[in-house]
A and B are shown apart, each in its own frame.
Chain A
Amino acid sequence: MSHDHSHSHGPGEVCAHDHAHDDHSSPEAIQRTIKKYFMVGGVLFGGTVLTVAMYYIHIPSVAATIAIALLIASVKAAFVAGVFMHLSDERKMIYGILVCTVFFLVGLMGLTLWAMNDFPSFTIVDGKPA
Chain B
Amino acid sequence: MEIPHAVKPRPDTGLYNAKLGIWLFLASEVMLFGGLFSAYILLRVSSDLWPHGMVSIPVGTFNTFVLIASSVTVVMSWASLKLGKLADFKKYMALTILCALGFLSVKSFEYYAKFTHYDVWFKDQATAQKYFTAAYGEKGEEAARKLFVERFHLQNTKATYDANQVQIAGHIEGNPLFATLKKLTSAKKDTIQFTPDAPSGTHEHPKAIEVKLSDVHRLSAYVPAHSTYFAIYFTITALHGLHVLGGAIVLTYFLLTSDKWWKKNPEQLANRVEVGGLFWHFVDLVWIFLFPIIYLL
Contact = CB atoms under 8 A, between A and B. Distances in A.
- Complex contact flag A–B (Cβ < 8 Å): yes
A44 B291 CA distance: 13
A34 B42 contact: no
Contacts of B34: 105, 108-109
Contacts, number: 130
In this complex, the member of A3, A51, A113 whose beta carbon has the largest number of chain B beta carbons within 10 angstroms is A51
B261 to A, nearest CB: 12
B79 A30 contact: yes
In this complex, the member of A3, A91, A98 whose beta carbon has the largest number of chain B beta carbons within 10 angstroms is A91
A105 B45 CA distance: 18
B106 interface: no
A84 B277 CA distance: 9
B15 A93 contact: yes
Contacts of A76: 288
A98 B292 contact: no
B82 A25 contact: yes
Given A34-B76, A91-B14, A109-B38, A72 B292 contact: yes
Categorize the interface residue count of chain A: 35 or more
Interface in B25-55: 27, 30-31, 34-35, 37-38, 41-42, 45-46
Categorize the interface residue count of chain B: 35 or more
Contact of A62 (B14, B42, B153): B153
A41 B71 contact: yes
B23 interface: yes
B251 interface: no
Contact of A108 (B31, B281, B288): B31
A27 B83 contact: yes
Chain B at the A interface: mostly helix, strand, loop or mixed? helix
Nearest to B23: A94
A33 B42 contact: no
Contacts of B35: 108
Contact of B288 (A77, A112, A117): A77
Nearest to B58: A52
Contacts of A65: 296-297
Interface in A1-51: 1-3, 21-22, 25, 27, 30-31, 33-34, 37-38, 40-41, 44-45, 48, 51
Contacts of A22: 9
Interface string A46-85: 0010011011000000100110011011001100110011
Interface stretch (B61-69, B128-136, B187-195): B61-69
A30 B80 CA distance: 9
A25 B82 CA distance: 7
B38 A108 contact: yes
Nearest to B53: A55
B197 interface: no
Interface of A: 1-3, 21-22, 25, 27, 30-31, 33-34, 37-38, 40-41, 44-45, 48, 51-52, 54-55, 62, 65-66, 69-70, 72-73, 76-77, 80-81, 84-85, 91, 93-94, 97-98, 100-102, 104-105, 108-109, 112-113, 116-117
